[in-house]
Amino acid sequence: MYLKQLSFRINKYLVIFLILLLFLFLHKTLNSSENTIKNEEYYYETLRVNWSDIFPDGNRNAAGPKFFKYLIDQDLSFDDFVEFNKRYCPVSGSLIRPGSVPDFISMTEDTTNNKTCGYMYRCCWPCTCDSMKYAKTMNISHKFKGIEEQFTAMTIDNPCGKEEFPLEVNRDYFCDGNEMNLDQVFAVDQKMIIGFLHNPTTCNGNDLLAINSHPVVGEQCKIRNSTKEEELISGMGDIFIKLSN
């Protein structure tokens, strides 16, 4: 009799244990998306998979603003928003593969003309030069998951009134007549946001010295940025220049 009672209790506890295991398994399965390992590869692949949603016609020329608009419209945490903004080039619209090293650059603030220093993720060095010459920075506040966050954006003036809008760019991505198409791009105070400046600070003397003495950001960019626009023949950056200048 005692053995039967003991066996019944053991079976009862075993069933409870198995139910708990099943519950834990289902909980883990249902919440697996929350446990996804988010690394550079994750952010890159997510944008790559959604490429056709961002660029229905496949034309990403100078379309950093399309990436930015797509990301800020998603229900992202601020940390995810920052990481996604490392995986595209604000100037060319190219995806940036994991492992890419950003450039430390200086840019002019939109309202003060002071210099802001920070890191830019780019596909190639001419894009770095063009951003420093033709884009400006702006501090922006925006809510992510209901939490107000501040960050520094890279901007250009409204390009939609140009008589010679670059033919290589899908104008419908940017413009509705002479106004910016706010369903397609994000704008603040008539400035189109093209991307995100990472780890921004007010430039000091050492920052500017490091930038000016850098073999690419300093020396090569000085040559590129002093070359007449009609003499530049380096591809995507030239399209951005036509758009932003």
Same domain, 118 and 6: no
Q: How many domains is the chain partitioned into structurally? A: 2
Same domain, 79 and 7: no
Select from 64, 62, 107 the least CA-distant residue to 86.
64
Same domain, 102 and 218: yes
Q: Tell me what pLDDT residue 1 has.
A: 52
Same domain, 61 and 28: no
Select from 98, 91, 94 the least CA-distant residue to 51.
94
Q: Tell me what pLDDT residue 188 has.
A: 96
Q: Tell me what pLDDT residue 31 has.
A: 41
Q: How confident is the model at residue 137 (pLDDT cuts 50, 70, 90)?
A: very high
Same domain, 18 and 133: no
Same domain, 22 and 47: no
Same domain, 20 and 40: no
Same domain, 118 and 162: yes
Same domain, 8 and 89: no
Is the pTM for the entire model greater than 0.85?
no
Domain carrying residue 18: 2-33
CA atoms within 13 A on the CB side of 56: 3
